[in-house]
Amino acid sequence: MSILVNKNTKLIVQGITGRDGSFHASKMKAYGTNVVGGVSPGKGGQEVDGIPVFNTVSDAVKATGADTSIIFVPAPLAADAILEASEAGVSLVISISEGVPTLDMIKVTPYLKKNGTKLIGSNCPGLITPGEALVGILPGNIFLKGGVGLMSRSGTLTYEMVHQLTTNGLGQSTCVGIGGDPVAGLYFQELLQMFQDDPETEAIVLIGEIGGDAEEQAAQYIKENVTKPVVAFIAGQSAPEGKRMGHAGAIISSGTGTAEEKIAAFEAVGVPVARRPEEIPALLIKMLKK
């Protein structure tokens, strides 16, 4: 078990003929992900690294039975690509595109809800179930199969954390990059529930950052619903107010969304917060022994 993706996942790549799309389609395929097709309007009938290309997501789904789609299209086109995947009946959509307007994400939300489509991102590195499926731009080689479920608003910081886990022998069930935008798809609460319900996941790592109050809500949710050990890390303790720290959603505004508030919220419900990424493995091991 794991969450969201596994060896049965049938993946299509929207934007497969672009630079990033073709590069990562090959990487995902090489990792062992079942990449069944790609989509690029006007390029149907071609192949990318042996993967058949279709004109529309509908065509791709009909021909391949795909259930998951990953999107590598320019940000102005991302919302339409997400809607197209949902309309075609794909149940999980991962939007990698960075720089998608917030109102575009707001406008797609009700349609996805109506169709029961799950979305991860935009502006995210994707997700991985080690040894089974890599759906994203994450470097597959740093992951190790195991029992830690990880969710994060960041990309390279996730790799850093995973590197710490793997080098300390702590494998991962599934690692999900939820993305750095203010309005995004699946978030902490939904993923906490999935990891709680996943028999393979023994402990959870949550990596948050400044901006918004999703961490505070997650803390409350953990208190009420999560029995597995959770440890957290919050990036941005030294961030100044009013500046977007690289991610569109990482901003302290009018004194709210600070790292201090988030750390306090987790510690108040018994979730230890690492002050340095290097502390995560030891904290996890301590929690698992309890």
Partner 1 sequence: MKIHEYQAKEIFSRYSIPVTREELCFTVEEVSSATQKLGLPVVVKAQVLAGGRGKAGGVKLAKSLDEATTAATAILGMDIKGYTVEKVLVAEGVRFNNEVYVGLTIDRKSKSVIFMASREGGVEIEEVAKENPDAILKFPIDPDLGMTPFLARKIAFSLFTEFSLVKQAADMFQKLYRIFMDTDASLVEINPLVITDEGNLLALDGKMNFDDNALFRQSAIEAIMEPDEDEKVELDAKSKGLTFIRLDGSIGCMVNGAGLAMATMDMIKLYGGEPANFLDIGGSSSPKKVIDAMNLILSDPKVKVVMINIFGGITRCDDVARGLVAALEQIKVEIPIVIRLAGTNSKEGLEILKQAQLPVVETMTQAAQKAITLCETISHL
Q: What are phi and psi of 136, to 5 degrees?
A: 160, -160
User: What is the distance between the alpha carbons of residues 119 and 9, in angstroms, rounded to a whole number?
Assistant: 15
Residue 61 or residue 128: which is nearer to partner 1 going by CB? 128
Residue 235 contacts partner 1 per CB under 8 A: yes
Residues contacting residue 34 through CB under 8 Å, at least 6 positions apart: 7, 8, 9, 10, 11, 133
Site for partner 1 contains 137 (CB under 8 A): yes
Q: Is 24 a catalytic residue?
A: no
The one segment of 41-49, 61-69, 127-135, 234-242 that binds partner 1 by CB under 8 A: 234-242
Residue 118 interacts with partner 1 (CB under 8 A)? no
Figure out which of the listed residues 56, 115, 217, 220 binds partner 1, where binding follows CB under 8 A.
217
Contacts of 116 (CB under 8 A, 6+ apart): 91
E-assigned strands of the chain? 11-14, 35-39, 47-48, 51-54, 68-71, 92-95, 118-121, 126-129, 133-136, 145-152, 172-177, 203-209, 230-235, 273-274
Q: Which of 175, 247, 249, 252 is the catalytic position?
A: 247
Q: Using CB under 8 A, pick the residue from 101, 190, 193, 261 that binds partner 1.
A: 101
Residue 85 is a binding residue for partner 1 (CB under 8 A):
no
Active site residues: 247
Binding stretches for partner 1 (CB under 8 A): 27, 75-76, 99-107, 109-110, 137-139, 141-142, 152-160, 163, 180, 182-183, 207, 209-210, 212-214, 217, 233, 235-240, 243-250, 254-256, 259, 275-278
